[in-house]
């Protein structure tokens, strides 16, 4: 059996964007830091990394679609944080952000990751932004790094 998989390596020439929903910035700032650190640690050139800021998670799919249409990027990492409150607003925002990212990605032809946290509490968000559970922004970046390499392998 032939196994085709990607490795965690960048050449330094890849142009990558991080799209960050600023709402809950205490959490999302840490996700961006994790993603940027993962990009650099795996060989990315910081000059080829763009940070696109949008107001919140709901707006991420709109910026993602625009970034994909621009054809400027080899991969895009989406991060944000939606934390459950006392109203159903959480359910609508988290569902629409997830569906919007998935929908924009289907015909993209480039790797896109969804690092948007959907947590029940601020404590869970903190855990996923760099404490107990690791940094989900870094994980989202590592995902697109592996997928970039996998795409190259699949084209051989």
Cα separation, 32 vs 20, whole angstroms: 7
Distance of CA 105 to the CA centre of its chain: 12
Residues 42-67 have pLDDT tens digits of 999 999 999 999 999 999 999 999 99
Is residue 8 one of the residues assigned to a domain? no
Domain that holds residue 68: 16-148
pLDDT in the model for residue 151: 93
Is residue 110 one of the residues assigned to a domain? yes
Cα separation, 131 vs 110, whole angstroms: 30
Residues 6-42 have pLDDT tens digits of 999 999 999 999 999 999 999 999 999 999 999 999 9
25 among known catalytic residues: no
Owner of token pair 């400027």? 72
Question: How many structural domains comprise the chain?
Answer: 1
Is residue 6 one of the residues assigned to a domain? no
**Which residue in the list 89, 92, 95, 133 is annotated as catalytic?**
89
CATH code assigned at 85: 3.40.50.960
Mean pLDDT of 72-83: 98
pLDDT in the model for residue 133: 79
Cα separation, 37 vs 24, whole angstroms: 20
Q: Quick check: pTM over 0.75?
A: yes
pLDDT in the model for residue 106: 92
Is residue 3 one of the residues assigned to a domain? no
Is residue 9 one of the residues assigned to a domain? no
Is residue 56 one of the residues assigned to a domain? yes
Residues 88-144 have pLDDT tens digits of 999 999 999 999 999 999 989 999 999 999 999 999 999 999 887 799 999 999 999
Residues 141-154 have pLDDT tens digits of 999 999 999 999 99
CA torsion through residues 45, 71, 138, 142, sign: negative
Is residue 31 one of the residues assigned to a domain? yes
Is residue 155 one of the residues assigned to a domain? no
């Amino acid at each position: 059996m032939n196994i085709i998989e990607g490795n965690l390596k960048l050449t330094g020439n890849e142009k990558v964007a991080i799209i960050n929903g600023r709402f809950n910035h205490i959490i999302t700032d840490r996700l961006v830091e994790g993603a940027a650190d993962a990009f650099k640690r795996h060989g990315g050139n910081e000059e080829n990394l763009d940070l696109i800021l949008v107001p919140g998670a709901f707006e991420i799919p709109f910026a993602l679609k625009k970034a994909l249409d621009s054809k400027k990027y080899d991969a895009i990492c989406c991060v944000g944080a939606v934390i459950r409150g006392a109203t159903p607003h959480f359910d609508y925002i988290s569902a629409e952000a997830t569906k919007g990212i998935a929908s924009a990605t289907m015909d993209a032809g480039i790797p896109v990751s969804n690092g948007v946290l959907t947590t029940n509490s601020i404590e869970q968000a903190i855990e996923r932004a760099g404490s107990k559970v690791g940094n989900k922004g870094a994980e989202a970046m590592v995902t697109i790094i592996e997928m970039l390499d996998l795409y190259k392998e699949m084209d051989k």
